[in-house]
């Protein structure tokens, strides 16, 4: 059943710019997702290491390439009922899917990312959903500055240590936790100097605007997008697409 935001969720989304949904993916769905993630991460790792050696990729995070084409479980995650209704509500039922990042972040003394916004306020509303594939404690967890998605807040200092950012909140979670966040807001991955690699899938959505999505961007998975809603989400409604 598609979830709609509760009044409390609506309020938190507007005021703080993020929501945490525990056990968004659970049970056999989660185990299937974990198996597919681990299988493809292992299969694609050698190519990634080659890209790192060639200076084409960073050694501090690793994305499974073309992950939607690997297993249908990843496509099913994009419009998963546990959070899709919330997204639809926040996007006023008119959004596109930009892309996934099936990302493993190895332990490293420093986070691979500093505090940042993904898009400027001039960009159409841009939301990410980060789904933890393994249990994530504070080391390596996603972190967000509540309220920083609103114009006129800040400025936020350029801190050298991520944990020095005033007002931030670290969001650890069990495998299957989904975090929705407005990417106008400042966020990062916390340092993970000694912990387990963090595995997560980051799904990127945006308010639909004309010409934003290449109609062929998801042509490779068109045969797996059977409903009009899903085809529209992936920009496959263009009749010239397969």
Partner 1 sequence: MPVIDAHLHVFAKASSEFPRETADWLPAEREEPVEKLLSVMESHGVQHAVLVQIGGTAFEHHAYLRHCLKSYPDRFRGIGLVAPDSRTPEADMDRLAEGGGIIGFRLFELGGHRDPFQPADVRAFKTYRIWKHAAEKDYVLWLYPRASESHQPPYLLEAFPQVRVVFNHLGVCPGKGKFELDEKGRPRIETPQYNPAFHTTYRLARYENVTVHLSGQYAFSREPYPYRNLAGWHRSLLRNYGSARLLWATDFPWILEDPGYGHLTEIVRELLPDLTDHEREDIMGRTAQKFLRFGPGRT
Q: How far is the CB of 162 from partner 1 (least distance, A)?
A: 9
Structure tokens at 191: 């340092």
Residue number with CB closer to partner 1 (56 or 122): 56
Q: Which of 3, 9, 82, 111 binds partner 1 (CB under 8 A)?
A: 111
Q: Which of residues 59-78 bind partner 1 (CB under 8 A)?
A: 59-62
Q: 74: helix, coil or strand?
A: helix
Which distant-in-sequence residues (6+ apart) come within 8 Å of 95 by Cβ? 87, 88, 127, 205, 206, 207, 208, 233
Q: Which of residues 140-179 bind partner 1 (CB under 8 A)?
A: 158, 160-161
Q: Which of 1, 8, 28, 109 binds partner 1 (CB under 8 A)?
A: 109
- Counting contacts by CB under 8 A, is residue 227 touching partner 1? no
Residue number with CB closer to partner 1 (183 or 192): 192
Q: Which of 1, 56, 120, 240 binds partner 1 (CB under 8 A)?
A: 56
- Counting contacts by CB under 8 A, is residue 112 touching partner 1? yes
Q: Which of 10, 32, 34, 57 binds partner 1 (CB under 8 A)?
A: 57
Q: Which of 12, 108, 153, 224 binds partner 1 (CB under 8 A)?
A: 108
H or E segment and range at residue 11 = helix 7-16
How many whole angstroms separate alpha carbon 164 and alpha carbon 159?
6
Q: Which of residues 30-49 bind partner 1 (CB under 8 A)?
A: 49
End-to-end CA distance of the chain: 29
Whole-angstrom CA distances from 194 to 63, 153, 168, 175 are: 20, 34, 22, 19
Q: 98: helix, coil or strand?
A: strand
Residue number with CB closer to partner 1 (12 or 51): 51
Query: What is the maximum alpha-carbon separation in the chain?
Result: 51
Q: Near partner 1 by CB under 8 A, which window of 19-27, 58-66, 198-206, 224-232?
A: 58-66
The DSSP secondary structure of 196-230, one letter per residue, reads PPEEEEEEEEEE--TT-S-TTTTGGGGGG--SHHH
Residue numbers of the site for partner 1 (CB under 8 A)? 49, 52-62, 106, 108-114, 158, 160-161, 197
């Amino acid at each position: 059943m598609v979830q709609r935001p509760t009044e409390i969720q609506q309020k938190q989304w507007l005021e703080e710019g993020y929501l945490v949904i525990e056990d968004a993916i659970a049970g056999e769905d989660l185990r299937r997702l974990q198996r597919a993630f681990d299988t493809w991460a292992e299969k694609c790792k050698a190519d990634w290491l080659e890209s790192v050696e060639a200076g084409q990729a960073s050694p501090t995070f690793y994305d499974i390439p073309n992950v939607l084409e690997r297993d249908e479980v990843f496509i099913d995650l994009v419009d998963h009922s546990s959070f899709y209704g919330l997204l639809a509500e926040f996007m006023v039922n008119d959004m596109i899917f930009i892309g996934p990042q099936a990302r493993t972040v190895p332990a490293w003394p420093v986070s691979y990312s500093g505090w940042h916004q993904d898009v400027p306020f001039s960009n159409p509303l841009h939301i990410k959903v980060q789904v933890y594939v393994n249990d994530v404690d504070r080391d390596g967890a996603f972190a967000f500055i509540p309220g920083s998605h609103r114009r006129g807040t800040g400025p936020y200092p350029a801190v050298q240590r991520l944990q020095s950012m005033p007002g931030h909140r670290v969001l650890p979670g069990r495998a299957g936790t989904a975090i929705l966040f407005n990417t106008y807001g400042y966020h990062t991955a916390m340092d993970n100097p000694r912990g387990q690699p963090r595995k997560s899938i980051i799904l990127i959505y945006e308010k639909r605007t004309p010409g934003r999505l290449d109609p062929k961007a998801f042509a490779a998975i068109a045969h797996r997008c059977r409903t009009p809603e899903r085809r529209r989400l992936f920009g496959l409604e263009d009749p010239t697409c397969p």
